[in-house]
Structure 1
Amino acid sequence: MDQVLGQVLRNAVWERLDMLTDLANRADAQSLVSVARSELPRLTEAWRAMLKMHEPDERGDCPTCSTRWHRCKAPCSVWQVAHEHLVAGGLAPQQQSATDSRLQGRRKSPISAHPAPTAAETTGRHALVNPRRAVTA
């Protein structure tokens, strides 16, 4: 059941990001100002919360990315992506980053060895559950 809930939550986030992207690309100026006033504070707080979880500990390791057997030195990939999109991305906005390419490729085609789900196996723009994977309760 946790896998189903996790997938539902991930799909809701992807749908929200898709909606915001569509608004940014298609909305008129007045609508964009309204959306920016309501959404930018929410997005910046989300970034802050996520980055706070990835702040390096006293040894310089990311506590979230590190495991018992493998320590992940800061800056971890979350901080690298944040810098790329929030700081460096402003320098060259027309270039698509390598991270963007990987993420878009992941969303458009499955990474796993499983074949893509059929239309009957999906709901909305994003699949709720991959029925080929066993779901354990």
Structure 2
Amino acid sequence: MDQVLGQVLRNAVWERLDMLSDLATRADAQSLVSVARSELPRLTEGWRAMLQAHEPDERGDCPTCSTRWHRCKAPCSVWQVAHEHLVAGGLAPQQTAATQDRRRRVPGQSRVSAAETTGRHALVDPRRPITA
């Protein structure tokens, strides 16, 4: 049940991001200003909450990314992605679709469940050939 709920939550987030991207590229100026006023504060608060969870501890480790057996030194990948997208912007190297797909996969997940093979943003096994 947790996997199904997790997939539902992930799909909802991906679809929301898709909708915002579509609005950014297709909306008229007045609609774009309206969306920006309502969504930008929500997006910045979301980034702040996520980054706060990844603030380094007194040893310089990310408490969220670290495990008992493996310490993750700051800046962790979350901070690196934040810098790449929020600060470096156009200066950052462009990602390929394969790189973006790898980031969408859940770390440590090696098998794809039946619940994750449906929906627009379903996780797919990259080793499995795509058949249409």
TM-score scaled by length of structure 2: 0.77
Are residues 99 and 63 of structure 1, via their aligned partners in 2, closer, same or farther at CA, if it must alter by over 3 Å?
A: farther
Distance in 2 separating the partners of 1:23 and 1:37: 13
Please tell me the root mean square deviation across aligned C-alpha atoms, in Å.
2.9
Matches within 5 A, 1:1-137: 1-89=1-89, 91-92=90-91, 97-98=94-95, 102-104=99-101, 122-123=118-119, 125-127=120-122
Which ranges in structure 1 are unaligned for 5 or more consecutive residues?
131-137
Are residues 9 and 102 of structure 1, via their aligned partners in 2, closer, same or farther at CA, if it must alter by over 3 Å?
A: same
Which ranges in structure 2 are unaligned for 5 or more consecutive residues?
126-132
Contact 1:55 1:62 in 2 (8 A): yes
| Residue aligning to 1:134 | none
The higher relative CO (CA closer than 8 Å, separation ≥ 6) is in 1
Are residues 106 and 61 of structure 1, via their aligned partners in 2, closer, same or farther at CA, if it must alter by over 3 Å?
A: closer
What percent of counterpart residues are identical?
A: 79
TM-score scaled by length of structure 1: 0.74
SS at match of 2:81: helix
Are residues 5 and 113 of structure 1, via their aligned partners in 2, closer, same or farther at CA, if it must alter by over 3 Å?
A: closer
Instruction: State how many pairs are aligned.
Output: 118
